[in-house]
């Protein structure tokens, strides 16, 4: 590890998501950093004697991996099968274009599950929301009819389709 990496490790963000994996934290970190630009693995630690004894893990096996995706730092732990991921926590990814939505949707859902309204579970069970930036503006529009049409269209989609959302948004209100 060079001096730049050591200095970088000391620069902490206030809140770091911490993900508990059974025994594939490094595989997950490599998967995520391969999908997103401006991503990297920062540090890997291994179980020492004391931590291995308490955790029921083998001394020398991977304990944590710290990685960064688009400037957001994460830590992943090989903690065993005690805890599982739930959709109650998800990572929302804001996308500029349909192409970005499409690429992230396909890569993150590979081996996982495509759910509803832009949600998916990746092959590790982590929930993600792949959302075009324009959606928030459409939903928060002062015209409640436009907002309602967009929400109704979104509820019919798995992967969000910007053109379909725009068509719902721009539809002329037909009520008398």
Going from N- to C-terminal start, the domains of the chain cover: 3-78, 90-170
Q: At CA 119, angle to CA 115 and CA 122, rounded to 5?
A: 80
User: Would 3-78 and 90-170 be classified into the same CATH topology?
Assistant: no
pLDDT of 175 reads 54
- Give the tens place of pLDDT for each residue, 82-129: 999 999 999 999 999 999 999 999 999 999 999 999 999 999 999 999
Task: Using pLDDT thresholds of 50, 70 and 90, give the confidence band for residue 174.
Answer: low
Q: CA 47 → CA 17, 60, 108, distances in Å?
A: 20, 5, 29
pTM of the model: 0.88
CATH topology of domain 90-170: 2,3-Dihydroxybiphenyl 1,2-Dioxygenase; domain 1 (3.10.180)
- The CATH T-level fold of domain 3-78 is 3.30.720
- Is residue 52 within a helix (H) or strand (E), and if so which, with residue range? helix 49-55
| Helix, strand, coil shares, percent, the chain, to 5 | 35, 25, 40
Identify the DSSP state of 121. Answer: E
Phi-psi region of 39 (alpha: psi -120 to 50; beta: other; left: phi over 0): beta
What's the mean pLDDT in 131-151?
Answer: 95
Q: What percent of the chain has pLDDT over 70?
A: 91
Residue found by looking up tokens 């944590």 in the block = 64
Mapped onto helix, strand or coil, the DSSP state of residue 4 is helix
């Amino acid at each position: 590890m060079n001096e730049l990496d050591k200095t970088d490790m000391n620069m902490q963000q206030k809140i770091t998501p911490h993900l508990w994996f059974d025994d594939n934290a490094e595989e997950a970190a490599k998967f995520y950093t391969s999908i997103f630009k401006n991503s990297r693995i920062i540090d890997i630690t291994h179980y020492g004697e004391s931590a291995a004894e308490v955790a029921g893990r083998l001394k020398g096996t991977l304990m944590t991996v710290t990685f960064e995706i688009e400037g957001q730092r994460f830590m992943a732990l090989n903690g065993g099968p005690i805890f599982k991921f739930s959709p109650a926590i998800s990572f929302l990814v804001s996308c500029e274009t349909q192409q970005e939505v499409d690429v992230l949707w396909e890569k993150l859902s590979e081996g996982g599950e495509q759910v509803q309204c832009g949600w998916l579970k990746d092959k590790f069970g982590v929930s993600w929301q792949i959302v075009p930036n324009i959606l928030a503006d459409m939903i928060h529009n002062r015209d409640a009819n436009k907002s309602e049409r967009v929400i109704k269209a979104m509820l019919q989609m798995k992967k969000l389709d910007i053109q379909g959302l725009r068509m719902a948004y721009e539809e002329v209100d037909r009520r008398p």
